[in-house]
Amino acid sequence: MKRKLSLIFACLAFLAQGIYAQDIIMKNTGGEISAKIVEVSSAQVKYKKFENPGGPDYSISSTEVFMIKYEDGSKTLFEKASSTGKIQLKYTAPPTLDPVNPDPKPPVNAAGAESPVQIKQANNGVFEMLGFDGKSVSFRAMVETPFSAVSLNSGERTFKASSISNTKGNIVFAGGATARQGSSLLLGNAAGMRLQKDTEARCDFENVPEGFVPKSIVFLTDEKSAPMNYDVASGIWIKPKQIGTPQPPSAEPYSAQSGEYDIVELIENNIVEAEISGGDITYVNLRIRRLVPYPVNVRVPVGSFFVSENPSAQNMVATGEKKLRLTTGNWQNIQMPAACANRPKDIPGSSDKFGVQRSPNQEELAQLMPVLNKSGAGTNVKQAAVWIITDNADYDDLGILVSSPGNTRAIGPETTARAMKICADAGIDITAKNIWRDRESIASKLPAGELKNWLKSFDAPKPAETSGSGTQTSAGTQTTVTASSKHAPSTKSSSKTTGKTFPVKVKYSDNDKIVPNTDIYFFYYDELKSALIETIANTGSGNIVEFRVPLNEDGSTYSFTVLLSKKEATEMKTEGNYRMFRIPPGEKCEYIQLGMNKGGSIRNDGCSIQITK
């Protein structure tokens, strides 16, 4: 199978009126070619001469090219790999400028380093924020105060400072020991710490991803006092509290008296903190404590999604519900029943750490779990049922779970059929899942009996009537959009359609980790109907989504494009102002996969791509 790197989609944001703007091919010899790029691969660059955009295609070997500068400001750099000698393409997205301030200066912290936090309201009467540079928080104690921790909270992930250095002033401990100016201390071992008035300190963080910007910076003085939150978006302190002053009942948000609350909501509002680690394929370990001076009732519902910080380990999803009451500031430990949610990755171990968030499949999982638990099904049936929902797994996908010794398949036909029936009994439309495509094959491998009869005779539930034209497909919701000439690609196929479709896979990731619960918008232009077809698919718990585009006899496809926001999709439908692409005639490959990165870069594996509009 050919593997080529093609012209990057880069949010696919080329306006129709800019089609004939100038691209520049910069050669290794220093020469330049003014062009309109048609196709880029690791083998060659195809282009039209800028002065003759309607003329023939020209080509130049990729080994002769240093860089392509596109008219929107984006670039593709051609580099020769030292190990293989092959050309590698590195794409840089176009710069994004603020229309009011086209050359913005990044905020600067007290030490002069660039900071993602703009300091506005500097103090809350206890602490004064001096700066945040992505890896450390600098601050000053305005009064003598106890101090125990600083954490960065994004709502989904929390990072606790590992050490503190006093750049000015002293730190005093219970018993009178003093750490004088210039000391560096591990926070986990610093019990009974107090900062003297006007002490300036810096707390450092480990393992914080590059570019991570928290929603809030949380200061904790001691277990008897509520946390103090510095809101990053507004640049001010929120709900400043006087140290050691008991809060009246009216100022006790999420208290046990007012009910029980989802663990995600409590973490987002700095009411509790949690540390989650792996167990095996059936559970995760949850360590939790309150951050407020009053009791809190916590609920960890079915479907809670535990997101692994290790990109090679699976995420986990809660298969049962747990409730607990936190009456002190001490840590409590519970074991959460869970199942894996990403088939191709490793089963997590005790060294793997997790954040927690609401699952995009939480509603279906909440439907499934009572029926699944009541069924008395074993671990493999439970895991199969969960993967059918969280990963939309087919029969081949389920084969990734193996038993030892012998590495034999753990989820066979009977296990799969039982999982399918349990999903259907729970009210889930199993016919809309990928596993349903394998129904006949699974049934043929079952012995005669009730389960085989059910699988062969089960009818799909009747869909609810809707006023729109959307229909549920394996990739998502497909809709026909009224099209005009502005949607039609300039290059169409002269070949007849085969009635078959070609797979276009999209992997939307952030730092090699698939971004969950994100809608991906796919469009192709139906040449027979002169209509624009839109399909929307969601990444779910962290999945590669697959779309289908009609395939012609000459190997080419209809023109298509991929967009990442609802705004772009609306503009595509109303204005038709995004570039479209197709697999060119004669291209022989099984699929195309687009690795779209949240930071703007995109990689294309599988086939070359031709611009059609």
The string of pLDDT tens digits covering residues 119-133 is: 665 677 788 888 888
Of residues 1 and 584, the one with the higher pLDDT is: 584
pLDDT tens-digit map of 541-583: 677 888 888 888 888 888 888 888 878 888 888 777 677 888 8
**Among 324-333, 374-383, 584-593, where is mean pLDDT lowest?**
584-593
Yes or no: say if 353 and 309 are a contact pair by the CB < 8 Å rule: yes
**Among 117-121, 347-351, 510-514, 539-543, where is mean pLDDT lowest?**
117-121
Mean pLDDT of 474-478: 53
* Predicted pLDDT at 240: 42
CA nearest to 303, candidates 250, 359, 352: 359
* Predicted pLDDT at 246: 39
Mean pLDDT is highest, among 205-209, 359-363, 378-382, for 378-382
ω before 585 within 30° of 0 (cis)?
A: no
- Residue 249 pLDDT exceeds 60: no
Of residues 251 and 197, the one with the higher pLDDT is: 197
CA distance 508 to 16: 25
Distances (CA, A) of 44 to 63, 76, 85, 93, 474: 8, 13, 15, 21, 35
The whole-model pTM stands at 0.40
* Predicted pLDDT at 470: 35
Mean pLDDT of 287-291: 90
* Predicted pLDDT at 96: 44
Neighbouring-strand partners of residue 238: 229
Q: What are phi and psi of 150, to 5 degrees?
A: -130, 135
Q: What are phi and psi of 356, to 5 degrees?
A: -135, 140
Mean pLDDT of 488-496: 68
* Predicted pLDDT at 135: 83
- Report the SS3 class of residue 512: coil
Neighbouring-strand partners of residue 353: 277
* Predicted pLDDT at 568: 81
**Among 167-171, 245-249, 500-504, where is mean pLDDT lowest?**
245-249
- Residue 259 pLDDT exceeds 50: yes
CA distance 299 to 274: 13
CA distance 250 to 119: 30
- Residue 358 pLDDT exceeds 60: yes
**Which helix or strand (DSSP H or E) is residue 205 part of?**
none
Mean pLDDT of 70-89: 73
CA distance 549 to 563: 15
* Predicted pLDDT at 483: 64
- Residue 418 pLDDT exceeds 90: yes
Q: Hey, what amino acid is at 63?
A: T
CA nearest to 518, candidates 548, 481, 544: 544
Mean pLDDT of 383-388: 87
- Please measure the distance between the N-terminal and C-terminal CA atoms of the chain and give it in whole angstroms: 27
- Residue 175 pLDDT exceeds 50: yes
**Which helix or strand (DSSP H or E) is residue 307 part of?**
strand 304-308
- At 285, the pLDDT band (50, 70, 90 cuts) reads very high
CA distance 359 to 513: 16
* Predicted pLDDT at 297: 92
* Predicted pLDDT at 27: 78
CA nearest to 8, candidates 96, 90, 78, 97: 90
